[in-house]
């Protein structure tokens, strides 16, 4: 018998080169034994050598893409001492470990495709430190046979690399080369074009064509970002008149059209390679991002993207390959059928995409995730203290920006962005995601959490699952999501929550959206809110900002001004409906207040072509301009602000200054009473959540006002409804049905 150790490593440790890393450490420290993947992560059995130094190095020198949650070691006696250290085959099935997100091309692989070796110009080059992961995975453990690479048998050269523990491609499951891997081609009018596919695609783009390009998580639609006619043609074909387009460019080309900060560049170069919002310089046509000061820019993150951008030599529009509102296309035949009306040609390949993932969208400063998707999922968040024994929970999120959340084994897994569940194809994707995540991660929920809105499709679906249902008020879920991301303990005490968004179902039957809450995971009290105004036309008020301007002007005693500002609007009919209470529910929505102020300044008053357009334009209008005089609310009643906006507008005050004064005034109106709750001892911190806090100007203003107290914000999960399921899950896992009190 020989004494040794059995070491369990849990976390994101599969598909990141962890086993060859362990093999190299074992050789360095003179150990014998084995390492293998299983359903719980990585298991190491070792004997001999310097065991203490080996254990310390496991965490101190772990591969860059790994995320270790815990290392558990116990004594093990070896009846037959191993003669050497080996990497053993994976064992067992199931899903107690974490899956690695897709990772951008690493420097070594990029140098290889630009070099002279056998992978020169090869669009599917990867190693253990980069390449597809979640988008090709069919089931765990993560082995090639369980990915969409199973259809590509390795050639002898690739197999030799794959089997060599000293090679950076040891057990890189997507390993490939031109002799054995996926194939790329350019397709036009149903036929494959001869010649080099990348060169042909670059030539078409240079001549103003629109291309459908197959990426990691789906197809993109691409065109020359400097060609206004091509961008406008893409807008017309995609029926996307004004929503900003994402851009892709090489790092060397960024200075030609944007001004990224060092923090922006660092985020762009992260292995997640998200779209990052960076200041534009005005060099590109206005049609790329109408009315915006910032551009959404990403670096090439696959070898195909690098090769294409090298060939084109200029920034490209790179937007999701779909009709606006519908899920991104992922399959070749699906692309031909659905994108044929948009694209002049297709840059295709024959590696299947196991699940569709949009590009993540983020800011670097202040740090925030606007859309959590490729490169970030399926990363997990550790549950806060007090939730160690939390049951398995499935949370279904909301109606807009839908995402689901799974709680299991002390971790919360927030899914990728799914979209608006009113869209039929997104609803199908939502149901698919529930089954896919549940199967992939061996999830067996004992309760389901959902929004309290009875009309939400996710809420209705929750009641069909045969599990106990926990309905969580919309803004309580936002608050809980912020607490969860910040690791706020289950018994950490109450916090003041400033929750500002578009709409959320209130237990009093009104529509909430500008809320000051006090509570935790289990209970919450509404201690303040924006003075309500009707939503004339119901959902139409969210699409047409002039409606919100009309009712806010009327409430401020400025009906005559409304008649002057909105001469062509059906004012009489709308006012009659409001008086009669017909399809005009009362709402405290901060989002609709943004719409009203934007409309007063002439920003898309008639209608919005995408959700949040008016508010985003108002934020862009304010820019970084200092607010010399924040508008003063009467408590949380915006009537004085509306009057001040009109007075300044009529006096010829610059519109950017009016926008800046509004942001500063709204921030102070909520920050002051929230700070008072902390200073009085009723709250221990202030949490900021809700879609309005995607507005960097508003977030910065509120944080400045709260600089003397502890403030919790979203950084890794969306403040908008994309993070709602996380909060629902933690409320449901807290063990007590939530209570909403009002005062």
Catalytic residue positions? Answer: 19, 37
- CA distances from residue 15 to 144, 355, 413 in whole angstroms, order as listed: 10, 17, 18
CA distance 228 to 119: 36
**SS3 assignment, position 697:** helix
Q: Is 559 exposed, middle or buried (0-12, 13-18, 19+ CB in 10 A)?
A: middle
**SS3 assignment, position 426:** helix
Q: Read off the tokens for 205.
A: 């783009």
CA distance 91 to 36: 7
Alpha-carbon Rg for the chain in angstroms:
27
**SS3 assignment, position 566:** coil
Q: Which helix (H) or strand (E) holds 277?
A: strand 275-279
How far separated are the first and last CA of the chain, in Å rounded? Answer: 70
Residue 617: how many other CB atoms lie within 10 Å? 24
CA angle (433 as vertex; 460, 725 as ends), nearest 5: 60
Q: Which residue has the tokens 């901060």?
A: 590
DSSP assignment of 123-151 equals TT--BTTBB-STTTB-SSS--GGGBGGGG
CA distance 397 to 414: 10
Which is nearest to 148 in space by CA: 139, 158, 138, 140?
138
Q: Read off the tokens for 180.
A: 């054995």
Task: State the sign of the Cα–Cα–Cα–Cα dihedral 264, 266, 268, 274.
Answer: negative
3-state class percentages of the chain: helix first, strand second, coil last, to nearest 5: 35, 20, 45
Say if strands 405-408 and 393-395 run parallel, antiparallel, or are unpaired.
antiparallel
Contact 89, 146 (CB under 8 A): no
CA distance 336 to 66: 37
Q: Which residues contact 586 (CB under 8 A, 6 or more apart)?
A: 510, 511, 532, 533, 534, 535
> With b meaning 16 or more CB within 10 Å and e meaning fewer, what string describes 457-487?
bbbebbeeeeeebbbbbbbbbbbbbbbbbbe
CA angle (270 as vertex; 323, 280 as ends), nearest 5: 60
366 cis-preceded (ω within 30 degrees of 0): yes
Task: State the sign of the Cα–Cα–Cα–Cα dihedral 626, 631, 636, 637.
Answer: negative
Q: Which residues contact 397 (CB under 8 A, 6 or more apart)?
A: 403, 404, 405, 418, 450, 451, 458, 721, 722, 724, 725, 728
């Amino acid at each position: 018998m020989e004494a040794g150790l059995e070491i369990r490593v849990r976390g994101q440790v599969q598909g990141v080169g962890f086993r060859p890393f362990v093999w190299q450490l074992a050789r360095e420290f003179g150990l014998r034994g084995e390492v293998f993947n299983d359903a719980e992560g990585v298991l190491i059995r070792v004997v001999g050598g310097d065991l203490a130094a080996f254990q310390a190095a496991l965490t101190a020198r772990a591969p860059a893409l790994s995320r270790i949650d815990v290392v558990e070691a116990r004594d093990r006696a070896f009846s037959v001492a191993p003669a050497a250290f080996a990497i053993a085959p994976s064992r067992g099935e199931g899903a107690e470990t974490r899956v690695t997100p897709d990772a951008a091309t690493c420097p070594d692989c990029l140098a290889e495709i630009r070099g002279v070796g056998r992978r020169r110009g090869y669009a599917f080059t990867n190693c253990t430190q980069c390449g597809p992961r979640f988008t090709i995975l069919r089931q765990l453990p993560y082995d090639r046979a369980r990915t969409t690479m199973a259809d590509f048998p390795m050639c002898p050269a690739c197999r030799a690399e794959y089997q060599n523990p000293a090679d950076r491609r040891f057990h890189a499951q997507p390993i490939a080369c031109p002799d054995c891997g996926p194939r790329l081609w350019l397709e036009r009018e149903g036929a494959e074009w001869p010649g080099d596919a990348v060169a042909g695609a670059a030539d078409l783009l240079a001549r103003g064509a629109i291309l459908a390009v197959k990426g990691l998580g789906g197809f993109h639609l691409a065109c020359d970002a400097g060609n206004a006619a091509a961008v406008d043609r893409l807008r017309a074909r995609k029926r996307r008149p004004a929503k900003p387009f994402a851009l892709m460019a090489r790092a060397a080309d960024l200075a030609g059209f944007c001004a990224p900060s060092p923090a922006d560049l660092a985020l762009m170069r992260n292995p997640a390679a998200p779209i990052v919002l960076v200041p534009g310089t005005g060099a590109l046509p206005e049609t790329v991002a109408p009315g915006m000061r910032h551009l959404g820019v990403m670096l090439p993150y696959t070898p195909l993207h690098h090769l294409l951008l090298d060939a084109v030599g200029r920034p490209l529009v790179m937007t999701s390959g779909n009709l606006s509102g519908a899920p991104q296309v992922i399959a070749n035949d699906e692309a031909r059928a659905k994108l044929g009306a948009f694209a002049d040609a297709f840059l295709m390949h024959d590696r299947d995409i196991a699940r569709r993932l949009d590009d993540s969208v983020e800011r670097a400063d202040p740090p925030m995730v606007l859309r959590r998707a490729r490169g970030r999922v399926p990363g997990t968040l550790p549950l806060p203290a007090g939730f160690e024994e939390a049951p398995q929970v499935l949370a279904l999120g909301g109606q807009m920006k839908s995402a689901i959340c799974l709680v299991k084994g002390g971790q919360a897994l927030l899914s990728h962005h799914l979209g608006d569940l009113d869209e039929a194809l997104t609803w199908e994707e939502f149901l698919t995601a529930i089954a896919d995540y549940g199967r992939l991660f061996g999830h067996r929920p004992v309760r389901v959490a959902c929004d309290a809105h009875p009309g939400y499709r996710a809420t209705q679906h929750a009641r069909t699952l045969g599990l106990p249902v926990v309905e969580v008020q919309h803004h309580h879920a936002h608050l809980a999501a912020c607490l969860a991301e910040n690791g706020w303990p289950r018994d950490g005490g109450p916090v003041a929550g400033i929750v500002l968004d578009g709409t959320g179902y209130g237990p009093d039957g009104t529509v909430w959206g500008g809320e000051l809450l006090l509570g935790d995971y289990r209970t919450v009290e509404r201690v303040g809110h924006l003075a309500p105004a009707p939503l004339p036309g119901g959902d139409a008020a969210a699409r047409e900002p002039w409606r919100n301007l009309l009712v806010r002007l009327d409430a401020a005693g400025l009906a005559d001004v409304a008649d002057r500002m909105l001469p062509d609007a059906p004012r009489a009919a709308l006012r009659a409906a409001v008086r009669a209470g017909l399809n005009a529910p009362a709402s405290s929505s901060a989002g609709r207040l943004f719409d009203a102020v934007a409309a007063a300044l002439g920003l898309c008053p008639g209608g919005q072509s995408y959700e949040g357009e008016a508010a985003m334009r108002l934020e862009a209008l304010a820019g970084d301009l200092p607010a010399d005089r924040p508008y003063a609310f009467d408590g949380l009643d915006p009537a004085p602000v509306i009057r001040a906006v009109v007075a300044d507008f009529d006096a010829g005050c610059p519109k950017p200054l009016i926008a800046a004064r509004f942001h500063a005034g709204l921030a102070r109106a909520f920050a002051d009473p929230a700070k008072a709750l902390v200073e009085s001892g009723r709250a221990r911190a202030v949490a900021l959540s809700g879609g309005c806090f995607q507005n960097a100007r508003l977030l910065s203003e509120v944080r400045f006002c709260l600089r003397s107290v502890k403030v919790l914000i979203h950084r890794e999960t969306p403040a908008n409804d994309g993070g709602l399921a996380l909060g629902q899950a933690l409320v449901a896992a807290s063990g007590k049905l939530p209570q909403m009190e009002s005062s």
